[in-house]
Structure 1
Amino acid sequence: MKLFFLAILICLISCSDSAEQEKHFHPLEGQTMGTSYHIIFEDVKESKISNLQVDSLLEAINQSVSTYIPSSIISRLNEGDTVIVAQENSFETDFFMKNIKIAKKVFDWTNGYFDPTVMPLVNYWGFGYTKRNPVENIDSAHIDSLMSGIGFQKIYPLFSRPIWHLPDETEIDFSAIAKGAAVDEISQFLINKNINNFLVEIGGETYTRGPGRNGEGWVIGINTPVERAASNDIFDKILISEKAIATSGNYRNFYEVNGQKYAHTVNPKTGYFEQRDVISATIVADDCATADALATAMIASGLQFSKDILANLPAEIEGYLLYNNGSDSLLIYQTKGMDQFK
C-alpha cells in the first residue's frame, strides 16, 4: 500500500479583480514535497505573510519527514541510525511525533489498512525513494521476506522513548500523511498571524477557514478519476469552511509492464498491489493529516470495508467514494453528512 495522495483541483469561487483587491486577498505558491503548494488568504491586518516564511516552515517539515532528504529524521531512521530526541531540532521531532500519533489513530481505525511501515514494499514496487525500476518479474519470496517488517503496532511504542531506533527490517513511509500534516502546520501558522479567511493546499490536500471570497465558504473540486483527465475535469464540487479535505486514488501514479498496471497503493496485509473497486476516495475532516491517511486507506481496503470504516469514525468525519462494479460507469457512495457540503 504505497500511500500517496492524488491532487484534487481547487476551484476557487470566481470574482472580479476589483472585488479581490477590495478584500485584500493574497496568493502564495511554490514547490515542496515533489509537488506544488497554493495559499490564498484575506489579509485584513496587512500581516505581510511571505513565500520566504512559508518555504522556511516547509523546509523544516521536510527535514523531519521527507524520505528524499538523506539528513531528515525519517531517512536517518530508515537507514538504521539512532535519533536522540534531546539533541534534535525540537520542531522537527515534534512534527515527526504528530505524524506518528495520527498514523497510529488511523491505523487503529482502519484495522491496519493504513500502515506507515509499508516503505520496503513501496520501494520494491518502484514507487519509493530508491528509484527502483518498475517490476517485471515478481519475486514472491522476497515480498514474503519484506512482510516481516510490516506492522505499525510493533514499532509505535518505540517513539515513547527518548532515543529512537527502528528494527533492522523496518522502514517508515509518511507519504500518505505528511502533506496533510504540512497543510495543518501552515494553516496554524496563518491562524497564529490572526488570518482567519484562507485556503492552504499542497498537492491537492487542502484546509480552508473562513467565508472564502463570496462569504459562503471555499469551493473544492474533485477530479474525474480517469487516467488522462485534465486538471479542470471536475466530477463534483464541495463547499467547505474550517474543514480539511483530501482525495486519494490510483488513476494517475502507476506504470504498466506487459499489459499489467501497477499502482502506488500496495495492500499492507498482502504486500501486493491490488486494483480495488474504490477508484477515488475523498475524506472531509477537522484536520488534513487525518483526512489524508483515511483517504488512502479507503483505496487499499476496497468498498465494503471502507463503508465499515466510515460507519465507525467520529461524527465530524465524512467520506465520498467513487467506485465501479465491474463496468465503466462510476458509482457514488457517500456518508449522510456529506450533504451539508453541497
Structure 2
Amino acid sequence: MNRVLIPLTLSAPPVPPGAQARAQRWAGETMGTTWSVVAMLPPTVDAGALEQGIRAALDSVIAQMSNWAPDSDVSRFNRACAGTWVALPADCLRVLACALQVARDSGGAYDPSAGPLVDLWGFGPAPKRSAPPAPDEVALARRQCGWDRIVLDREGGRALQPGSVSLDLCAIAKGFAVDAVARYLDGEGVAHHLTEIGGELRGNGVKPDGMPWWVALESPPDSGPATPEQTLVALHGLSAATSGDYRRFFDSEGRRYAHTIDPRTGYPASHALASVTVLHVECMMADALSTALTVLGPRAGMEHARRHGIAARFLVRTPGGFDEHLSPAFAAMLA
C-alpha cells in the first residue's frame, strides 16, 4: 500500500498542459552525479534550445560554486588572502547567504566553511581515505572552519575572506542547481516539469493526465520490511531532498564513517539516524536542511524541525530495522 503526501498550498486542481503538449526528457551528468528533466513542451518550444539552456544553467553552478574546479568563484574565494573582499556572482552570494542562515539557525550543525574537514575525511576533492585521521589532524582542520567569521556585502556583491576559510557548498549547491533549472524552464514558458539531480527533486505543474509528478521518497537500500509503505509525494511547486549515511562512507575496523561531518566535533555524525528527507518549496533549502537535521540527529533534529516548521521524515536504525518519525509539518501533508 502506498502513502501519499499533498502540498498544503494545493488549493485547486492544477490546469493540465494542452492537448498539443509533448513529453520531452533530457539526462546527463553533472557535479559528480546524474541529472534528468522531464517536461511537457508547448508546440512552439524548441527542445534542442531548451537542452542547451539546461546545460548552461548547470555549468553556471559549477563555474561559481564547485570547490572541485580550481577556477570556480568559490575556489577563488578559498585562495584569497586574509582580509580580502572577494567579488562573487549574485547566485553564489544567494546560496552562501542561505547556507549561513541554516548554519546560524542550526547552531553550526551545518557549516558551509567545513571544507577542510570534508577534505580531511576524504569526502571532498582530496584523496579518499580508508581509515580515520588522527585527532590532532581533526583539531587543526576545525580551527580552519568558522561560518560565523564570513561577512557578506550583498549590495556590493562580495564576501570577506577572514583568513584560511575554505567554503564547501556541496550540501546546498546541488539543490540550488535543481532550482536554477526549474526557474529557467519557467522563464521559457514551460510550466510543467520535473527536475532531478542526484536524487534531489523539484516539480512544477502536472503531467498530461492532470496528475501531479508523483515521486517515491528515497529510503536506505537496506530499509527492508520495517518500512513496507512506499511514500509518494506530489511535487507540485515542491522540492524533496534526502541526506543519508549510505550514500558515501568508508568502513574501518568495523565502524562506518559517513560523509556527513559534524562541524561542531570534526567527526562524522555517529548517531543512529540513517536518513532525513526534507520537503520545501526551494530545493536549495531542502538540501541544506536535510544535512543540518542529519547532523543534529533524531532528537535534536526533530526538535529543530518542530521549532522551525520544517517538513521532515527521519529514519532511525534499530536492532529490528528502522523506525520512522515524522515532523508535524510533514505529517500535515499526509492525504
Q: Do structure 1's residue 95 and structure 2's residue 67 form an aligned pair?
A: no
Residue 21 of structure 1: CA displacement?
A: 9.2
Cα distance change of structure 1 residues 214 and 321 upon mapping to structure 2, 3 Å threshold: farther
| Residue aligned with 1:255, SS | strand
Cα distance change of structure 1 residues 149 and 224 upon mapping to structure 2, 3 Å threshold: same
Residue identity matched to 1:167: P
Matches within 5 A, 1:210-225: 210-225=205-220
| Residue aligned with 1:226, SS | coil
Q: Do structure 1's residue 272 and structure 2's residue 259 form an aligned pair?
A: no
The answer for the alignment partner of 1:44 in structure 2 is 42
The answer for the alignment partner of 2:313 in structure 1 is 320
Q: Do structure 1's residue 240 and structure 2's residue 240 form an aligned pair?
A: no
CA RMSD of aligned residues (A): 2.6
Residue 22 of structure 1: CA displacement?
A: 6.0
Residue 108 of structure 1: CA displacement?
A: 2.3
Check the 8 A contact 1:276/1:299 in 2, yes or no. no
Instruction: Choose the corresponding residue for 2:22, options 24, 31, 55.
Output: 24
The answer for the alignment partner of 1:330 in structure 2 is 322
Whole-Å separation in 1 of the counterparts to 2:153 and 2:145? 15
Check the 8 A contact 2:25/2:38 in 1, yes or no. yes
The answer for the alignment partner of 2:4 in structure 1 is none
Q: Deviations over 1:38-88 (max 9, x none)?
A: 111111243224322211221111100011111001112222366752xxx
Whole-Å separation in 2 of the counterparts to 1:22 and 1:80? 53
Cα distance change of structure 1 residues 166 and 312 upon mapping to structure 2, 3 Å threshold: same
The answer for the alignment partner of 2:145 in structure 1 is 150
Residue identity matched to 1:174: L
Residue 131 of structure 1: CA displacement?
A: 1.9
Q: Do structure 1's residue 34 and structure 2's residue 26 form an aligned pair?
A: no
Cα distance change of structure 1 residues 328 and 150 upon mapping to structure 2, 3 Å threshold: farther
Residue identity matched to 1:323: V
Residue identity matched to 2:325: Y
The answer for the alignment partner of 2:112 in structure 1 is 116
Q: Structure 2: any 5+ residue segments left out of the alignment? A: 1-16
The answer to which structure has the higher strand fraction is 2
Residue 260 of structure 1: CA displacement?
A: 2.4
Residue 171 of structure 1: CA displacement?
A: 0.5
Residue 336 of structure 1: CA displacement?
A: 3.2
Residue identity matched to 2:75: S
Residue 307 of structure 1: CA displacement?
A: 1.1
Whole-Å separation in 2 of the counterparts to 1:164 and 1:108? 17
Check the 8 A contact 1:323/1:332 in 2, yes or no. yes
The answer for the alignment partner of 1:309 in structure 2 is 304
Whole-Å separation in 2 of the counterparts to 1:284 and 1:213? 24
Residue identity matched to 2:221: V
TM-score normalised by the chain length of structure 2: 0.85
| Residue aligned with 1:331, SS | strand
The answer for the alignment partner of 1:168 in structure 2 is 163
The answer for the alignment partner of 1:74 in structure 2 is 74
| Residue aligned with 1:279, SS | strand
Whole-Å separation in 1 of the counterparts to 2:265 and 2:179? 32
Check the 8 A contact 2:90/2:157 in 1, yes or no. no
Amino-acid identity (%): 24
Whole-Å separation in 1 of the counterparts to 2:45 and 2:334? 30
| Residue aligned with 1:25, SS | strand
Cα distance change of structure 1 residues 227 and 76 upon mapping to structure 2, 3 Å threshold: farther
Whole-Å separation in 1 of the counterparts to 2:213 and 2:194? 8
The answer for the alignment partner of 1:56 in structure 2 is 56
TM-score normalised by the chain length of structure 1: 0.83
Whole-Å separation in 2 of the counterparts to 1:250 and 1:214? 37
| Residue aligned with 1:330, SS | strand
Q: Structure 1: any 5+ residue segments left out of the alignment? A: 1-18, 86-91
Check the 8 A contact 2:273/2:316 in 1, yes or no. yes
The answer for the alignment partner of 1:131 in structure 2 is 127
The answer for the alignment partner of 2:14 in structure 1 is none
The answer for the alignment partner of 1:299 in structure 2 is 294
| Residue aligned with 2:262, SS | coil
Whole-Å separation in 2 of the counterparts to 1:257 and 1:266? 16
